[in-house]
Each structure stands twice: as C-alpha cells, then as structure tokens.
Structure 1
Amino acid sequence: MIDLHCHMLPGIDDGPTSLEVSLAMARQAVDDGIHFTACTPHIYPGLYENNRAGIEQAVEDFRRELAAAKIPLQLGVGADTHLAPDLVGGIRSGRVPTICGSRYLLLEPPHHVAPPRFAESVFTLMTAGYIPVITHPERLTWIENHYAVFGDLVKQGAWMQLTAGSLTGRFGKRPQYWSERMLDEGLVHILATDSHHCDKRPPLLAEGRDAAARRLGAEEAHHLVNTRPQAILDDLPPAAVPPLPDVGKPLSRKPGLWTRLFGSP
C-alpha cells in the first residue's frame, strides 16, 4: 500500500519529537503492508514555517536512518499545505512542494471554521494546473453544514482523501459517519493514515482499506490505497485514473454506526 499523508519526520511539526518514535512509526507502517510513505509535514504560515528544501533534507536524513535500521520503507516528499495567500506562487517558486513533484498537492482546510471562498481557492489552484487533494474532510467540524461543497468540488476536479482511522471509529462516531457517507456517495479518491505518532495516531492503513472493501468491494478498496496513490506518484492526469464509483449519486447506503445509534445527523 501507499500512504500519501503522514507526519513521520522527527521534530519538524506536530508529529514525532524523537527519531526513536519516527523509526517505530516506520516499522509499524511496514508491518501494516505500507511500502511507500510520503512525508508530509505541515506548512502553516506563522506556526510551521517549513519549505520544500527543508523537507527534502529532512527526508534524506531519515532515509539514511531507515537504511541503518534496516527498515524497508520508501519515502517521498510532500507537505500538508494550509491555505495561504499566493499559494500558487509558493508552489511555482519551489517553496511549497506538491506530492512527490506531481501536479497533486495535499490541501488541509481549517479544522474548526469554514474558510471564506474555500471553493474559489480550490478552483484557483486547479486553473493553475494543480489538483488539490483535500485532506480529511470527514473530520472537519463544519462539514455538517457545508457537505454539498465537497461534492461540488469533486465534480469540478478536486480530489478527496479520507483518514483510514476515521472509517474504523478511531476519531469518533461523527467522522466515521461522514467518511462512510462520502465513500458510499462516490466522493473519495484515496485513503491515507495522517499518522502523527506510533501510539496516539499510528500509521495503519490496512484497517481503512478493509473497512472500505466491506462497503464498496475489494477492487475499489485497492484503488483507494494502491492504484490512485500510484497514479499520483506517476503524475498521471485524472482521466487516466480509475473513475470514482457513481460520482455524485447518493447510494442506498448501508447505515453506518452513527446512523444506527443516533439516526442521520
């Protein structure tokens, strides 16, 4: 499997603070069946002032540590990019990395407040030739009142990435409900771990793949953790990637845990 959203580099953001924890995370990832991890620390102006050159150096240093520890995990360079003025300029100048140099980039919306003109910001990136992969929409506290926005963005060409643990309830019932709903309505392109630690936020992807397989079948689950992530690494255009199942068409869904317990939110 391929994990394109992971905070594994030590001491660079809110991920692991020590090399020992980073190595433990890498071992967990390999044991889980992950062979490639994109290291995607936050780029958050005013908080995490990372840039492509610094991330590349941190990845190269960690590769050497993995080799010394004999951990067979391949690494790539990326960033968990937050909305900021002139994000397109930052990408074009080389300050902000895309996912492994491709046209795809991780875009993390604010967690608690719906940003003004969010759809417009996403569209600006797409018109500049980039494909935003919007991270963990199911965990945003404002998804309930703005759910239609994400469906519209998918129709316009943006990609969606769910956190694997959301599908198994690691983040609570509400993110599980929204992740199941987005899957069932054909709005999800890839799964990733968004791991930050070996204990609190472990790099486990297989559990999410298996949960997706139970809802959508093994083929689509494979696309979520292998085919589409590999297409990003290969920088394929979206037209060359397996399409989403029934995009934009609400399905007759199996009720998720939240629905079974409390009804639809």
Structure 2
Amino acid sequence: MFSIFKKKQSQTVDLSGIGTDMHSHLLPGIDDGSPDTETSATLIKGLQDLGIQRFITTPHIFWDLYKNTNESIDGALEKLRLSYNGRLEAPFRAAAEYYLDDHFDDLLRKDMPLRTIQDNWVLVEFSFVTPPIDLKEKIFAMQIKGYQPVLAHPERYAYLTASKRTYDELKDAGCLFQVNLLSLTPYYGKAANELANYLLKKNYVNLLGTDLHHERHLHTLRNSPSLTDSVKQLLDSGRLLNPSINF
C-alpha cells in the first residue's frame, strides 16, 4: 500500500542573485564578528554555498568598543589572505561600518579618507537605543565631504516604529537603506521583521546584507528558504543595487 502523503522535500536557499554581500563581519579578531581565521574561512565558505560571489566585509569602527583603523583592518585582511595561502577564492575586500559618534565627526573634520563600499558609499550606523540628536547634521556633514550615506539595518532601530516619518526624512535627505537578510525572517524579533517589510512596501530598500557575525547567523540563513523569494522580488523590482557592486 502506497502512502498518499509525499515526503516533504527540503528547500534550499539561493542568494546568488545578490552577487555581492556588502555588510559582514568576517575579518578575524577585530570586532564582535569572526574571532579567528578558521571561523572566517567557515563563514565565507558557508556564504559561498548559498550563492554569494563577492564580499565586502565591514568591521565596526566604534571608538568606545572597537578602535579600528586602516592599519588594524588591513592587517586583519592580510592575516585572512595568508590563511588562504595568500589568496581568497572569491573577490574580497574590506570597507567599514562607521558608528556615528564623536570619532566619526573627527574623521570628517580632519578630511581622513573613509573606507567605502563602492565609489563614495559609506556604511553608517547609530545606537539601537536612541538616535543621535544631530543625526541629520551628521548625514549632511558626510554629504558635504562628498560621501553617499548608506544606513545599515534601518529596520533594527525599533524605536522608529513610533516615528516612521524619520525614514521618509532620511530618504529625502539622500540616504541609501541597507536591510539585513535576517530581518526578513523572525531572527531579530517581531519589530525588526515588521519594519523590514514596511521598508520593502515603501520601496525604500536599496541594498541587502548578511551582517554575518557568527555561525548562528549562517545557520539561520541556511534554514530560511523564504529568503530566496524575497531576494527575487527585490531583484525583479530593479531597485536592488547589490548586483551593481563589482571590484
């Protein structure tokens, strides 16, 4: 007798349409991401298995916690390359994720070149508790210096649930928005998921990033087949900029 029930087939996650992951923490030992080269290799291979072809990793520059400089970032990148016998199996470079603090203001005042995602795009973040009171001024100061602000994970600032007009204001000010792939799942909680979907409906999402820190993130990506459809919808809209990032 044959069962009328078919065995459920496992679904795979395909992120190949993204092309370039432009937000991750894959460099060993310099922030709250990968602690060592072995973990970095595991994470990179895992993302490649999901279809990612190019990597721009973005270590934190947050002066109260991660006092990263060009020297520390380039040193970690070289350490990673040496662990791969001097080369990586995919295009790989390092930008940064800048916290909008006094140190960032100093970098702008001193005309210190910022590490960019592409051309003049600079990835920035701020507090998950409260925004800077001078947020718009900081964004304007970046633009005056010739940079394109890319706001990291705007959906994770849960306090904006009650003040969604801030998104309109930041968009009107010229910011690009980068949403975390995991925010399109329940991983970060209900608020982040709802705000991510709100931004999608507003057509405000310009970029997607893994924001990968550790193997728990990788495990969740691997087991979230719905991401394939979410990525496809954004690609079909023509608004997703990740595929245009080449180096």
- With the shorter chain as reference, the TM-score category is 0.7 to 0.9
Amino acid at match of 2:120: R
Count of residue correspondences: 225
Superposition TM-score, scaled by structure 1 size: 0.76
Indicate which of 217, 229, 234 corresponds to 1:210.
Answer: 229
Matched, 1:130 2:154: no
Q: Which has the higher helix share?
A: 1
Larger radius of gyration: 2
Tell me the residue number matched to 2:16: none
Q: Residues 125-170 of structure 1, C-alpha deviation per residue, up to 9 Å, x if partnerless?
A: 1122111100001011211133211222112211110001111222
Q: Distance in 2 between matches of 1:57 and 1:71?
A: 15
Tell me the residue number matched to 1:146: 163
Q: How does 1:62-211 map to 2 (within 5 A)?
A: 62-67=80-85, 72-85=89-102, 87=104, 89-90=106-107, 92-94=111-113, 96-99=114-117, 102-200=119-217, 204=221, 208=227, 210-211=229-230
The runs of at least 4 consecutive aligned structure 1 residues that moved more than 6 Å come to none
Matched, 1:14 2:25: no
Q: Distance in 1 between matches of 2:138 and 2:131?
A: 12
> Do 2:154 and 2:179's aligned partners in 1 also have CA atoms closer than 8 Å?
yes
Aligned-partner SS, 1:196: coil
Matched, 1:38 2:50: no
Structure 1 residue 86, shift from structure 2 partner: 6.0
> Do 2:182 and 2:210's aligned partners in 1 also have CA atoms closer than 8 Å?
yes
Which of structures 1 and 2 has the larger relative contact order (alpha carbons within 8 angstroms, sep 6+)?
2
Q: Distance in 2 between matches of 1:77 and 1:203?
A: 24
Identity, % of aligned positions: 28
Q: Distance in 2 between matches of 1:207 and 1:24?
A: 23
Amino acid at match of 1:223: L
Structure 2, unpaired ranges of 5+: 1-18
Superposition TM-score, scaled by structure 2 size: 0.81
Q: Residues 92-146 of structure 1, C-alpha deviation per residue, up to 9 Å, x if partnerless?
A: 324x42225x311110111111221212211221122111100001011211133
In the superposition, relative to structure 1, how do residues 203 and 89 fare at CA in structure 2: closer, same or farther (>3 Å)? farther
Q: Distance in 2 between matches of 1:221 and 1:191?
A: 13
